[in-house]
Structure 1
């Protein structure tokens, strides 16, 4: 074949290969950005779940009845847990963003969000009329929180590994630190006491606690 035809053909092929390479790099970059945004939001949700779990543990130290406990728990979930609403909206958007790449995991996350909303909106007040009934329901509630946290950990590890080894180890470090953080323990202890004090004060004054800040 004449050289005057070969070199242009080689140029076209090289251009096509470079275009494919550039497209692949851009797609991978976009994918990593989507996963990174999701990881960031899942870590924030994980912090909320961890705080709810710790709050429930600390409230046991301050409340003297299940009714006081439930009123304090309800006030916390209404005022702080998964607030502001934009938090979950943003998470849902990120889940949709990666659903085309990881459809099964996206479905699991959507179901997980639905269960987290139950923790926020669960109407347990009527159960306080019976200590035995409330104790059974609350134990189920606590176990469900632990299961959700475990699933969040699993999802975080899954996506962190796909983002990169460095991200994977940093996420593991973050999760481990949360379980041993003295600052977090002190914060939730003070927060639990604050809610109990507010509930106790309002009940004496006959005032219904506000869920607004």
Structure 2
């Protein structure tokens, strides 16, 4: 057998094989990079949402009436919930990147972000002068927050799973710890209320 013809063919095949392995490895690393950045952004939003949930009942306790409660609620949401304007826009870009790997998950996540944004923009001041109506609408709003929290937690777990086992375990631990510690401290509540009183002369939209 004349090996002088075989070795060039073997070299070409090996070259293709190595190039394929290299491209696959680079693609895997890029996918992990995009997934990790997406998880980080979602965690920021998740923590904001948990803060908003944890402060819901304490706000009722420190408010004089439902109208003052709604003004305080709007202030807290506007100041402390998704307060960074670039947070959602950056997330939108990452969802686009992630969609090439998990298109259905990206669609779900985009819908969830729209729902969370709607909750940020809820205004109930006009209804706060009618107690029963306001309590009903506020209850609907709070149930919506709970649903958003469950959905975003489930998204975190699924996306972490697509990153790898180690990341999934870390996210599961993170979520469980957050569930246990989802209580706002009195000092933080006092700080927020003092901040609100200082800025209370600013008008609040209905």
Q: 1:190 to 1:73 in 2, by over 3 A?
A: farther
Aligned residue for 1:129, secondary structure, equals: coil
Which of 189, 192, 197 does residue 189 from structure 2 map onto? 192
Q: 1:97 to 1:90 in 2, by over 3 A?
A: same
| Residue of structure 2 equivalent to 1:64 | 64
| Residue of structure 2 equivalent to 1:141 | 141
| Residue of structure 2 equivalent to 1:111 | 111
Q: 1:67 to 1:147 in 2, by over 3 A?
A: same
Deviation of the 1:80 alpha carbon: 1.6
| Residue of structure 1 equivalent to 2:202 | 208
Q: Structure 2: how far apart are the matches of 1:105 and 1:117?
A: 18
Deviation of the 1:199 alpha carbon: 4.9
| Residue of structure 1 equivalent to 2:6 | 6
Per mean C-alpha deviation after superposition, the further-off stretch among 191-200 and 26-35 is: 191-200
**Which residues of structure 1 form unaligned runs of 5+?**
none
Deviation of the 1:191 alpha carbon: 3.8
Deviation of the 1:79 alpha carbon: 1.2
Deviation of the 1:157 alpha carbon: 0.5
| Residue of structure 1 equivalent to 2:156 | 156
Runs of 4+ in structure 1 off by over 6 angstroms are: none
| Residue of structure 2 equivalent to 1:84 | 84
* TM-score, normalisation: structure 2: 0.92
Query: RMSD of the TM alignment (CA)?
Result: 2.0
Q: Structure 2: how far apart are the matches of 1:198 and 1:31?
A: 42
Per mean C-alpha deviation after superposition, the further-off stretch among 82-91 and 172-181 is: 172-181
Question: What whole-Å deviation, never above 9, does each CA across 1:153-212 have from its counterpart, x for those lacking one?
Answer: 111010111111111111111111112228x621xx434334445556766xxx23689x
Task: Indicate if the aligned counterparts of 2:160 and 2:171 stay in contact, CA closer than 8 A.
Answer: yes
- What number of residue pairs does the alignment pair up? 205
Question: What whole-Å deviation, never above 9, does each CA across 1:25-77 have from its counterpart, x for those lacking one?
Answer: 00011001111111111111100000011111221221131112111110011
* TM-score, normalisation: structure 1: 0.89
Please say if 1:37 is aligned against 2:23. Answer: no
